[in-house]
Amino acid sequence: AQKVTQAQTEISVVEKEDVTLDCVYETRDTTYYLFWYKQPPSGELVFLIRRNSFDEQNEISGRYSWNFQKSTSSFNFTITASQVVDSAVYFCALSDSPDTGFQKLVFGTGTRLLVSP
Amino acid sequence: ETGVTQTPRHLVMGMTNKKSLKCEQHLGHNAMYWYKQSAKKPLELMFVYSLEERVENNSVPSRFSPECPNSSHLFLHLHTLQPEDSALYLCASSQEVFSGNTIYFGEGSWLTVV
């Protein structure tokens, strides 16, 4: 069965610090997709990145970077030089190939990031 | 402007009331979803629609009734709810329902049942 674990419930950092959010997943499929979403206090889930299981290349987008390692079933997210606006709850999610034919996005429980000035 | 808009953003209703949540997507997608986010539970998938046809009802109680009149609009009709139904209800859409399609979410409707 699918499962996503975000062991860090809450992380507090001071502005300009680097911070890494951990995500560990479980799936029996060889084809699957991993996502990260950001949820600010307003409630909207903002899409950050999608990665498929065949592409292990790490990705960088501005201050954001993602480290995908199939060997450890992890898809970690690093924010470099954090800013107050990065304060939010971050969710990791997994979509594989269910028998139903439509995807069920399985979410982790989220990591709350607090960045103080 | 977000691609998925939800109204109302906040709703307080009594247990005997009937109300509806509305969702509209401006992305030209064929699939739409309702998710529920409670304080102490992970995000839960409630319903999935593909081209206006419901393809999933994830064991949701009948007091929640979805409606998808076209591929751009999705409603969630609420009646005789319980206080434990208080949650953030998120609407979402994707190009198709198949695995790997990125799901885009709206801002959510905060529901309080009193």
What is the average per-residue pLDDT within B38-48? Answer: 88
Is residue B59 a contact partner of residue B41, using CB atoms and an 8 Å limit?
no
Q: 3-class SS at A22?
A: coil
The predicted structure's pLDDT at residue B99 = 82
d(CA B114, CA B111): 10
Contact A103 B104 (CB under 8 A): no
Of residues B50, B100, B107, nearest to A52 (C-beta): B100
d(CA A53, CA A40): 28
Residue A105 DSSP symbol: P
Is residue B75 a contact partner of residue B67, using CB atoms and an 8 Å limit?
yes
Q: Which residues in chain A have Cβ-Cβ distances shorter than 8 Å to B97?
A: 101-103
- Maximal CA-CA distance, chain B: 40
Give DSSP secondary structure letters for chain B: --SEEEE-SEEEE-TT-EEEEEEEE-S--SEEEEEEE-TTS--EEEEEEETTEEEEE-S--TTEEEEEEETTEEEEEEES--GGG-EEEEEEEESSSSTTPPPEE---EEEEE-
pLDDT in tens, A26-58: 998 888 999 999 999 988 999 999 999 998 888
Q: Which amino acid is at B32?
A: M
A102–B contact, CB cutoff 8 A: yes
The predicted structure's pLDDT at residue A23 = 98
The residues with which B52 forms a beta bridge, in sequence order, are none
Interface of B with A (CB under 8 A): 2, 31, 42-43, 45, 48, 50, 55-56, 88, 90, 92, 94, 97-108, 110
Contact B56 A97 (CB under 8 A): no
Q: Which residues in chain B have Cβ-Cβ distances shorter than 8 Å to A46?
A: 105
Q: Which residues in chain B have Cβ-Cβ distances shorter than 8 Å to A111?
A: none
Contact B42 A47 (CB under 8 A): no
pLDDT in tens, B12-35: 999 988 999 999 999 999 999 999
User: In this structure, what is the dihedral angle of CA atoms B9, B11, B17, B23, given to the nearest 10 degrees?
Assistant: 10
d(CA A62, CA A76): 16
Of residues A44, A95, A107, nearest to B42 (C-beta): A107
A30–B contact, CB cutoff 8 A: no
Query: Residue A67 is inside which H or E element, if any?
Result: strand A64-69
Percent over 70 (pLDDT), chain A = 97
Higher-pLDDT residue of A58, A86: A86
The predicted structure's pLDDT at residue B1 = 53
Q: Which residue has the tokens 């206006």?
A: B52
Nearest CA in chain A to B104: A47
A58–B contact, CB cutoff 8 A: no
Q: 3-class SS at A44?
A: coil
pLDDT in tens, B56-109: 777 899 999 999 999 999 999 999 999 999 999 999 999 998 888 999 999 999
d(CA A50, CA A37): 9
